[in-house]
A = this chain, B = another copy of it.
Amino acid sequence: MPLLVMKFGGTSLATIELIKKAAERVKVEVSRGYEVIVIVSAMSGKTNELIGWVNKTSSIYDAREYDAIVSSGEQVTAGLLALVLQNLDIPARSWQGWQVPLKTSSNHSSARIEEIPTQNLRTKFKEGMKVAVVAGFQGLSLDNRVTTLGRGGSDTTAVAFAAAFGAERCDIYTDVDGIYTTDPRVCEKARKLNQISFEEMLELASQGAKVLQTRSVELAMRFNVRVRVLSSFDPSPDQSGTIVCKEEDVVEKNVVAGVAFSRDEAKMTLISVSDKPGIAAAIFGPLSEAGVNVDMIVQNISDDGLTDMTFSCPTQDVDRAKNALLEHRVSGQIHFEDLIADTEVAKVSVVGIGMRSHAGVAAQMFNTLKDENINIKVITTSEIKISVLIDRKYLELAVQALHNTFKLEKQV
């Protein structure tokens, strides 16, 4: 019997009414002849309530206890959805992470999935279970404690189950009806894509598009899991949605697939750093230890053995970055004259597999920004992506202009 994985996010399960709606969707797929594994998030708001309690409780952060507490939200929705499905005459039961068991590494709160043995679920499917409702986001460590996978972990759970069970497809039900060329709230010409390649989706996700979590896309790419993003709130989601799949299966092929952006970026510059081997390690080692998420890095041309080093990071990491760098200057491990933080910047990225074969995308991008009088502060590129840092106030303007330049409103 063909098997389908369906994942419902917290906004799709926020109330009992919505849980009933999700169950109706599952029923449609069961009536099409699928065995279904449903991965559920916690009811919207519940995880934050639990995190709030943890924060009020203790200044010590024990990730093992955090995980034990926070994972309870998914456990509740899994049970509730199983009950609703039974009410619809569908043989269903809930599975907590440790019951599957979904085996993970022991780094709590951001554990990695290591193995999903399929035997327990397969036995129950053979015994007549039609739907396994699995609590997402959680697993079991080697020493028998509950782990969680970190933000977006339910997407990752869903893709991992689809890979382990050889599912025909992994449907991610969410509050938007697919992947867009850019955020429609910023650019009204934004167009929903029918298909997108894993590689492009990965760049879009890591550059700020929030529909799918980066790790889930990596996993889908690695195991070639066909992912479909669609809306829980659409009465006929089958006619809608976006398929994320292998490059060769994508029919429509624009040079540029989309424009992604991230609003809360900061640019930090270390002035007059001594330019000698090992200096990058001396700077970025401590930043990494301090948990600063460094993104772009640029080093200026050296002058008299001194150079300026610029990097970007999320604005929320700025204080931690400053403290780490100043501490290491005091202790003599790093030398620099000054540290300048610009917290009013944003990142805009143009992503497309077509760039590999089409020269001139970068030039078009820079020209567009120049025509709008937008100054580029930092540039980085990958094979299928160009990112620039600009003043935050120009973000909307830049996204709209680039969307126009690459004619993203039109399907090729």
Instruction: Give Cα A99–Cα B78 distance, bound, in whole angstroms.
Output: 20
- Say yes or no: is A69 at the interface (Cβ < 8 Å to chain B): yes
A54 lies within 8 A of B68 (CB): no
The listed residue (B19, B69, B78, B84) touching A68 by CB distance below 8 A is: B78
Question: Across the interface, which residues of B come within 8 angstroms of A68, CB to CB?
Answer: 75, 78-79, 94, 96
B96 lies within 8 A of A83 (CB): no
Nearest to A89 among chain B residues (CB) is B60
A46-95, CB < 8 A from B = 50, 53-54, 56-60, 62, 64-66, 68-69, 72-73, 75-76, 78-80, 82-84, 86-87, 93-94
- Say yes or no: is A16 at the interface (Cβ < 8 Å to chain B): yes
Nearest to A86 among chain B residues (CB) is B60
- Say yes or no: is A98 at the interface (Cβ < 8 Å to chain B): yes
The listed residue (B60, B78, B79) touching A87 by CB distance below 8 A is: B60
A136: min CB distance to chain B, Å: 15
Instruction: Assess A62 versus B76: contact at CB under 8 Å? Given A16-B57, A57-B16, A68-B94.
Output: no
Instruction: Give Cα A410–Cα B78 distance, bound, in whole angstroms.
Output: 55
- Say yes or no: is A331 at the interface (Cβ < 8 Å to chain B): no
- Say yes or no: is A393 at the interface (Cβ < 8 Å to chain B): no
The listed residue (B16, B60, B86) touching A83 by CB distance below 8 A is: B60
Question: Across the interface, which residues of B come within 8 angstroms of A56, CB to CB?
Answer: 16
Instruction: Assess A65 versus B82: contact at CB under 8 Å? Given A59-B87, A76-B72.
Output: yes
A19-50, CB < 8 A from B = 19-20, 50
